[in-house]
Amino acid sequence: MKVTLVMATTADGKIAKDKEHVADWTSKEDKKFFVEKTKECKVMVMGMTTYQTIGRPLPGRLTVVYTRNPQAPGLEQQPDVLEYTNLGAKELLAQLEKRGFTDVALVGGGTINAMFLREKLIDDIYLSIEPYIFGAGLGVFAEAPADVALDLVEVSKLSEQVVLLHYRLKK
């Protein structure tokens, strides 16, 4: 199972000012890349805060949302559209693989990203660097392990203002 982290960050590495901050600051080019990459993967995995920021399952791919209680009232499972889980990262990936999925887009937030990184489950990282500085806020990884080595695969421009970095984790 290939896991690809897809995130937009500011020039100072922030993905949001706080947990309620909507990603309305990202460019249309980043949004287009996000849609293309997540549709290509066919599955998006995210935390509840990220899901609440998006507000709905996105068409053309399965949305899997991490929550402490996937059976909580109001969390309506929609098989192959919107599913809630509290499985460990390896267990979730094994279940998805049994269902025929081969690629997963990990789309945040920092806690979920760090959980997958700690278990060395991330293969590729795509970071869109947007021309903003928040100064304070949430990072791509919350409590990430130190000393994770990356190989730079590609640097490209999504627009005149937005750079896309593609890294592969050294394993």
State the CB neighbour count (10 A cutoff) for residue 147. 5
C-alpha to C-alpha distance for 136 and 16, rounded to whole angstroms: 9
- 11's CB contacts (< 8 A; 6+ apart) are 129, 130, 131, 132, 133
Structure tokens at 146: 């130190």
Q: Percent of the chain having pLDDT more than 90? A: 82
Distance of CA 75 to the CA centre of its chain: 20
pLDDT tens digits, residue range 9-46? 999 999 999 888 887 899 999 999 999 999 999 999 99
Question: What's the CATH code of the domain at 86?
Answer: 3.40.430.10
pTM for this model (two decimals):
0.94
Check residue 21 and give its pLDDT: 84
Check residue 126 and give its pLDDT: 98
Helix (H) or strand (E) holding 45: strand 43-47
Question: Residue 105 is part of which domain span?
Answer: 2-169
Check residue 121 and give its pLDDT: 96
Check residue 57 and give its pLDDT: 93
Residue 145 has pLDDT above 80, yes or no: no
Number of domains into which the chain is organized: 1
pLDDT tens digits, residue range 118-135? 999 999 999 999 999 999
Bridge partner list, 166: 126, 154
